[in-house]
Chain A
Amino acid sequence: MVDVQEAITQAHHEEWARVVAALTRRFGDLDIAEEAAAEAFATAVARWPTDGVPPNPGAWLTTTANRKAIDRIRRESKRGDKQKEAQMLRDDDPPGPLGAIDDERLRLIFTCCHPALAMESRVALTLRMVAGLTAPEIARAFLVQEATVGKRITRAKAKIKAARIPYRVPSAEDLPGRVSGVLAVLFLLFNEGYLATGPGTDPVRHDLTAEAIRLTRLIRALMPEDGEVAGLLALMLLTEARRSARLSAGGELVTLDDQDRGAWDAALIAEGHRLVRERLAARVAPGRYQILAAINAVHTSARNVRDTDWSQVVALYDQLAVLDPSPIVALNRAIAVAELDGPEVALAAVDRLEDKLGGYYLFHATRADLLRRLGRGQESRAAYDKAIALTGNTAEISHMTRRRDQLGADGRDRDGTTL
């Protein structure tokens, strides 16, 4: 029984996107594909415990879903749409070979992440159609109403149909831009899992980070030559590797300098480092994710903060700033500069970003930390207050509250710890 449950879960993970993709290809309709796939999995849940797990679960699910889709189309055509039935009957060929199906999952991903759809619709649609999450699961993940998720998915599917968003992998010429759109969806998903917002939610949502990694692995398998795909996967793995060390038993954020590096996941780090080395060996100018992965590789190569090659980190941020001259990159660069040239130099760089980042909690958190290290306690306290007011992540709030409360009345750090 347990084995059957596991087989169903595994089949859902491995086959959902294939089934939806194959049906979308055949029937040209995401609605029909989604509904038929869901019905096929419901049938598996009902039948496999008594009939046993079929020898080829994927083929069983695809066949069952095909039948469900044809049933639905027949039902609908009885209500008048004879043309659709005729079309369906002509296209009664068996599913294509396995390689072609992989290609179809890729089509599905590119369609769900089409730039003509709003970002939140892309995320919801990708989670539903590619990852197989239900609308209530997606609603829980993003702390929105189930009805909102349902509406986003329905509206996105309707637009795909009405505006004829094509169901295909973009041409070679458009591919880099479109891949970056897909990676943006996956990175957003990962970040929401890694730094979940909202008072009622766990500070780290492992289900979301795991799903983001699973989908990025899938794209990596489908597009092994793409450097940014490898870069994003490496970035996720090297970040995920530190997950358990990043929260204390009391649910407080533990910053990089205080983390127990022995608790990092060595296997994920090794895999991430392999990917970074692979990209370095390719000798192609790296994109944003590859540079971020390289920065994380430097951090995860060091035994402790002092041992970290900070000049390398700063150099990588300089390289990143050329591609992405955003104030966020400048802020992260300043954090590395603090380790290389001291907190005073870093603070001057951070203060220059106030116009652009005054509403961003990490700007104030960074200032608070630098001011604390410079012994300017009162200013540090005020900056912590601002940062706390601006973040929704519970682990960050307890970390910053403790740091703030450690500042003595004279403005000195009470326990005397400075880096």
Chain B
Amino acid sequence: MQYLVSVINDTASLATPDEMAAIDVFNDRLQAEGHWVFAGGLAGPNSATVIDNRGEAAMFTDGPFVESKEYLVGFWIIEAADLDVALKLAAEGSRACNRKVEVRPFQ
């Protein structure tokens, strides 16, 4: 079973070097224990472009699809047997990156 662990940022600043180091340690552990699928950090929401190509021509809009003080700043995709395992890993991830995280199962 795969889960998306979204990292939620509620400040303007991105990860500090200390936080990056803690994330690296956590990532190594995910890989060593077979939970690792994929992970990545994102640039700030100001760098986002929203595209809507449901009409005749693609529309491009500068900025994120929703303006919010809290925004997605990175994610992990993890492999876990069940939600208990996923929650435990997500709790450690939250500690490592020093941010709130959200856990959601893939369908």
Interface, chain A (partner B; CB < 8 A): 114-116, 162-166, 170, 174
Docked-complex contact A166 and B84, CB < 8 angstroms? yes
Docked-complex contact A163 and B84, CB < 8 angstroms? no
Shortest beta-carbon contacts, A-B, top 9:
A166-B82, A163-B105, A164-B82, A163-B83, A165-B83, A164-B1, A164-B83, A166-B84, A162-B105
- Considering the chains assembled together, what is the distance between the CA atoms of A116 and B88 in angstroms? 12
Determine which of B1, B81, B83 lies in contact with A116 in the assembled complex, contact meaning CB atoms within 8 Å: B83
- Considering the chains assembled together, what is the distance between the CA atoms of A163 and B5 in angstroms? 12
The chain B residue sitting closest to A167, CB to CB, is B82
Complex contacts, A115 vs chain B, CB 8 Å:
87
The chain A residue sitting closest to B85, CB to CB, is A166
Interface, chain B (partner A; CB < 8 A): 1, 81-84, 86-87, 103-105, 107
For residue A166, give the distance in angstroms from its CB to the closest CB of chain B: 4
Complex contacts, A164 vs chain B, CB 8 Å:
1, 82-83, 105
Complex contacts, A116 vs chain B, CB 8 Å:
83, 87
Chain A interface helix/strand/loop/mixed: loop
- Considering the chains assembled together, what is the distance between the CA atoms of A163 and B86 in angstroms? 10
Complex contacts, B84 vs chain A, CB 8 Å:
165-166, 170, 174
- Considering the chains assembled together, what is the distance between the CA atoms of A163 and B82 in angstroms? 7
Complex contacts, A162 vs chain B, CB 8 Å:
105, 107
- Considering the chains assembled together, what is the distance between the CA atoms of A170 and B83 in angstroms? 12
Chain B interface helix/strand/loop/mixed: mixed
The chain B residue sitting closest to A166, CB to CB, is B82
- Considering the chains assembled together, what is the distance between the CA atoms of A165 and B81 in angstroms? 10
For residue A159, give the distance in angstroms from its CB to the closest CB of chain B: 9
Determine which of B82, B104, B107 lies in contact with A165 in the assembled complex, contact meaning CB atoms within 8 Å: B82
Complex contacts, B1 vs chain A, CB 8 Å:
164
- Considering the chains assembled together, what is the distance between the CA atoms of A125 and B84 in angstroms? 19
The chain B residue sitting closest to A178, CB to CB, is B84
Complex contacts, B87 vs chain A, CB 8 Å:
115-116
- Considering the chains assembled together, what is the distance between the CA atoms of A164 and B103 in angstroms? 12
Complex contacts, B81 vs chain A, CB 8 Å:
166
Complex contacts, A163 vs chain B, CB 8 Å:
83, 86, 103-105
For residue A416, give the distance in angstroms from its CB to the closest CB of chain B: 58
- Considering the chains assembled together, what is the distance between the CA atoms of A115 and B84 in angstroms? 10
For residue B91, give the distance in angstroms from its CB to the closest CB of chain A: 11
Complex contacts, B86 vs chain A, CB 8 Å:
163
Complex contacts, B105 vs chain A, CB 8 Å:
162-164
The chain B residue sitting closest to A165, CB to CB, is B83
Complex contacts, B82 vs chain A, CB 8 Å:
164-166
For residue A388, give the distance in angstroms from its CB to the closest CB of chain B: 40
Q: Can you report 24 residue pairs joining A to B where beta carbons are below 8 Å apart?
A: A114-B83, A115-B87, A116-B83, A116-B87, A162-B105, A162-B107, A163-B83, A163-B86, A163-B103, A163-B104, A163-B105, A164-B1, A164-B82, A164-B83, A164-B105, A165-B82, A165-B83, A165-B84, A166-B81, A166-B82, A166-B83, A166-B84, A170-B84, A174-B84
Q: List 19 other contacts, CB 8 Å, given A166-B81, A166-B84.
A: A115-B87, A116-B83, A116-B87, A162-B105, A162-B107, A163-B83, A163-B103, A163-B104, A163-B105, A164-B1, A164-B82, A164-B83, A164-B105, A165-B83, A165-B84, A166-B82, A166-B83, A170-B84, A174-B84
- Considering the chains assembled together, what is the distance between the CA atoms of A164 and B1 in angstroms? 8
- Considering the chains assembled together, what is the distance between the CA atoms of A152 and B104 in angstroms? 19
For residue B81, give the distance in angstroms from its CB to the closest CB of chain A: 8
For residue B25, give the distance in angstroms from its CB to the closest CB of chain A: 22
Complex contacts, B104 vs chain A, CB 8 Å:
163
For residue A164, give the distance in angstroms from its CB to the closest CB of chain B: 5
Which of B81, B83, B87 has the most A CB atoms < 10 Å from its CB? B83
For residue B96, give the distance in angstroms from its CB to the closest CB of chain A: 20
